[in-house]
Amino acid sequence: MRKLSVEDVKVQGKRVLLRVDFNVPLEEGKILDDTRIRAALPTIRYLVERKARVVLISHLGRPKGEAKPELRLDPVAARLAELLGQPVRKLGQVVGGEVRDAVDRLGEGQVLMLENVRFEKGEEKNDPALSRRLAETADLFVNDAFGAAHRAHASTAGVAEYIPAVAGLLMQKEIEVLTRCLHNPARPLVAILGGAKISDKINVLRRFLELADALLIGGGMANTFLAARGFDLGDSLYERALTAEAQAIAALSENGRCRLHLPVDLVVTPELKTGGSFKVVLPGAVGGGWKAVDIGPDTVQEYTRVIAGAGMIVWNGPLGVFEIEPFHRGTEAIARAVAGSRAFSVVGGGDVVAALETLGLAGEISFISTGGGATLEFWEGKELPGIAVLKDKT
């Protein structure tokens, strides 16, 4: 998949509508994590240095077409200005006369930020009228919001119907690395999949059973696999309706190149709370009133051994209830194993990134995707609307 990027087109003096993903966590107007803002800096700086007139557009939260004061982008604009080292003018509208006037006055190398695009009812409907009005403010559309690329919205896909569309530097890197995972991985390829539900990742499980050499399973989804093998898991979370699907996926591993690894021991607790009591048991010995909430030490040892021999590692989803101590230990141990590996490592967004940041290990990972659902859909092999509309390289 080869798409034209911002490096392939002339931008000097042009009005560039740059779609970014500044959907950052906020608490009482303060940004808790500015990772997504930092991720967009290379593209913004590239455009500023080449004297483009930069108009930023992003969503924040889920206002569902209503202007909600707590979801305005003012704190984001302020933080971006600090990181860029130059003013970022923030508007109170997405489209309209105020926007047209501000863009007309925008100088070369200056940056303007529009209001939260999801305040517009037509955004999530991919309304052509909104797409056309967005396009009227620009000569070029640059999509750098990989985290929203799986959404066919006005600001991610629709606008490309009216003006030329290319990838930003972040989008370009995401496409390059995630494609490499699927089509040219270093061997052995080890996939680590966790999280609560198989239902969220059935297609990704099946895809990596075809591609990977080893598939390590943890989290609530591991419970479903274990239940499918007939183990009594007490009061553990698992998807009873998907045990047959888990059996089918396990059967595929028996006949293919990929070995499926499931927990050989579990950390269980009677009550999921910070500092709660726990014990380590074998699958099938969970017992009534107890819940499996993490992989056990023998599983950590086995998974660490597999990781140590990997040529490439892809990881999505925590292997236990990481946010509650002491049930974070399995995810932490695997994070340290991945960070210490010589393999090219790719982490696919979500809770694992938060875990790595907490542990101070994010810098030891080869590539951290800014997508959550977008990364999973890319790995499934789906066409992402926000990428499909970008011009192809010929």
Residues with catalytic function: 36, 197, 350, 373
H helix or E strand, kind and range, residue 192 = strand 189-193
DSSP 321: -
CA proximity to 306, closest of 251, 358, 343, 359: 343
Cα gap 199→221, rounded to integer Å = 9
User: Cα dist. 305→5, 342, 348 in Å?
Assistant: 40, 13, 22
Structure tokens belonging to residue 289: 């009133």
Cα gap 35→55, rounded to integer Å = 20
215 contacts 198 by C-beta, under 8 angstroms = no
Can you say how many angstroms the Cα of residue 180 is from the centroid of all Cα atoms in its chain? 17
Residue type at position 188: P
Structure tokens belonging to residue 335: 């994070």
Cα radius of gyration (the chain): 23
230 contacts 204 by C-beta, under 8 angstroms = no
138 contacts 16 by C-beta, under 8 angstroms = yes
Query: Which residues partner with 15 through β-bridges?
Result: 53
9 contacts 391 by C-beta, under 8 angstroms = no
